Amino acid sequence: MSSNAQGFEETRWQKEPKIVIAFDIGTTYAAVALAHLYKGGKQTIHRVTTWPGQENQYEQSKIPSEIFYDKDGRARAFGAEVGAYENQDKAEEEGWFLAKHWKLHLHPPSMTSESNLTLDELPPGVSIPQIYADFMRYLYQQTRAYFHSRIVDGERTWNSLKKSTEFVLAHPNGWGWNEQNFLRVAAVSAGLVSSAEEAAKKILFVSEAEASIHFVTINADFGKQLKRNLKVAVCDAGGSTVDTTLYTVDKVSPLYLQEKRASACVQAGAIFINRLAKEHFKSKFADEEDREDFVADALKSFETDAKRSFGGPEEDKTVAVGGVRFSNAQLGVRRGHMTLKGSLIQQFFDPCIDQIISSVNDQIRGVDVDFLLLVGGFGESPYLRNRIRTGAETRGISVTIANGPTAKAVADGAVVWSIKGAVTARATRFAYGNEITVSAEPMEGEKIGRTVVAGPSGPRIEGGWSEIVAANTVIEDKHETSEPFWVLYSTSHPDLSLFEETIYSYEGSESPPPMFMRDNYGNLKPGFRKLCDIHVDLSKMRGGLVSEVGPHGRYWILHFNTILTFGGTEIRAAVTWKEKNKTMRSKAILVSSEFA
């Protein structure tokens, strides 16, 4: 057993053996945790702590989310290896390109529209799908090596359980079905699973906040505080996103949690502090011949020391720049060190922290919250902790920090989630619906000026919005929403092929949403977004055809229902129909139009 193993359940595993591997791929850092489950064995988390390039950093559980690519678009170095001197030299000599902060390219419009997000350029000829596949493949290979060396009879056990291995991918609260589908495709390309069919079964998803609440609940000290109706807010402050979710304890043993309202996700992570600091250093060294080196030195020192230890404006910090032989009185540099006033550092922090506190306040307003759990790499910031403790809505609430570094919370918690699954109800972040035609009568309001078309029941207007489920609706994880459909045929032996229906989301601020999802020219209105297509194979339903007689003679009609599940960590679809008074059921396929 590895030295960093942590048990998370007193009862021993009694089901079939399997391996669970959780990836937490953050904007700045990544981590992997796993569990080897076998009959009679302890339920234990193992954190991957041996990574190339970090041999001298004992039990370091996270690596930078960075990749060096050469001019031909081939990955040459990953994670901590990127910072190795030999790779830095090769990169300069051979013209390698650094891919970093690439996770931001996957953020949906709902996360990027309000934050004025600036994206780092990708290496020439290298796409986001390739980067994710390359990085996942690297994580998988290193996880396999770790398992082989740290688990008793590791290589044989790995090979024997490879077909039953499950993967859990954690992602921000603001990501949805399209981003999840992208990750599934990347997982196939990376070799985690062999096909899309296998990925649908073995690639699971959990939000970073939900993984974090599972991590915290296995903490013995916090576990003692759990009781029914306890209100717990989780704030996961990471590299780019800060996710906040409010939970209610519905049951203690076994533990059941329910989301109280739609979770929040803001772009206010630690990288935005770095960017403000970098702008300051660029201005500071603007006239220096070695300004690029000075900026790089100062920023690295700020990130690794000053930023992490900063507690408030009364604390001045020093950063290293230029080496011990460099002094410049005009720049305030003495023997390679420069002092930053606490009030200046505060200016780097406050724009992000103000956003975080506003988001947390929105989540907990009007609710008597018992605990606020602060996790994530940025969550370890003393200044962030102090500001949250003294915030307007958070004042008086017990702000709790999990024992040990919280940067590993998501990967560990994702493993626990896959096994215990304590959250039984979640709140929709957006409204979901489909496109319909609307009756033209009465002709008023939004209907005026739109094209009217003839319909069987009278004049209709296309481009209407039909809501399936409203935003901020708390739905149990297994609750199914049924939408009826029918198709008419002129023959008793029709060609039953593929039926397609498009699901849209409304991510705008109007409540209720507009009557029409399209403008007068047929374009999607702001706030509406195509989510996915439902593909239903009608060929299985021939027994459901029913003969009827109408004004124009005999026709055949096929009734069926699409079944959608919105309360889980991902949207799922199925279809039901009747055959001789018996309800039949089959899977439906969700197809993404994005990231193709």
pLDDT at 259 over 70: yes
The residue assigned the tokens 């096929």 is: 558
Domain check: are 311 and 442 in the same one? no
> d(Cα 371, Cα 435) in Å, to the nearest integer?
42
Domain containing residue 507: 431-591
Number of domains comprising the chain: 4
pLDDT grade for 254, boundaries at 50, 70 and 90: confident
Residues 582 and 559: their CA atoms lie apart, in Å, by 13
Distance CA(62)–CA(80), nearest Å, equals 9
Instruction: Please indicate, yes or no, whether residues 203 and 222 belong to a single structural domain of this protein.
Output: no
What is the model's pLDDT at position 596?
A: 47
Cα dihedral sign, 74-80-84-89: positive
Task: Say which DSSP state 122 is in.
Answer: P
Total Cβ atoms within 10 A of residue 234: 31
Q: Indicate whether 330 and 436 sit together in one domain.
A: no
Q: Is residue 355 part of a domain?
A: no
Measuring CA to CA, which residue among 429, 266, 271, 427 is closest to residue 359?
Answer: 266
Other Cβ atoms within 10 Å of 40 Cβ, number:
7
Which residue, of 322, 348, 374, is where some domain finishes? 348
d(CA 307, CA 444): 58
Q: Indicate if 204 and 217 belong to the same structural domain.
A: no
Would residue 139 count as lying in a domain?
yes
263 and 274 together in one domain: no
Q: What average pLDDT does the chain have?
A: 91
| DSSP state string for 7-67 | EEESSPP-S--EEEEEEEE-SSEEEEEEEEE-TT--EEEEE----TT-TTSTT--EEESEE
On whether both 203 and 217 belong to a single domain, the answer is: no
200 and 305 both lie in a single domain: no
Write the CA distances from 222 to 80, 369, 372, 382, 454, integer angstroms. 33, 15, 11, 20, 63
How do residues 288-335 score in pLDDT, each as one tens digit?
889 999 999 999 999 999 999 999 999 999 999 999 989 999 999 999
pTM greater than the 0.85 cutoff: yes
Q: 248, 261 in Cβ contact below 8 A?
A: no
* Domain end (from 410, 427, 444): 427
257 lies in the same domain as 279: no
- Work out the pLDDT band at 577, boundaries 50, 70, 90: very high
Q: Is residue 456 part of a domain?
A: yes
Residues 264 and 313 in one domain: no
CA gyration radius, the chain? 27
Cis peptide leading into residue 512 (ω within 30°): yes
Length of the chain: 596
Q: What is the structure's pLDDT at 402?
A: 62
User: In this structure, is residue 99 part of a structural domain?
Assistant: yes
Q: Do 385 and 462 sit in the same domain of this protein? A: no
Q: Structure tokens of 576?
A: 């039901």
| Predicted confidence (pLDDT) per residue in 209-229, tens digit | 999 999 988 875 777 888 999
CATH for 86: 3.30.420.40
- 575 and 541 in a common domain: yes
Residues 552 and 527 in one domain: yes
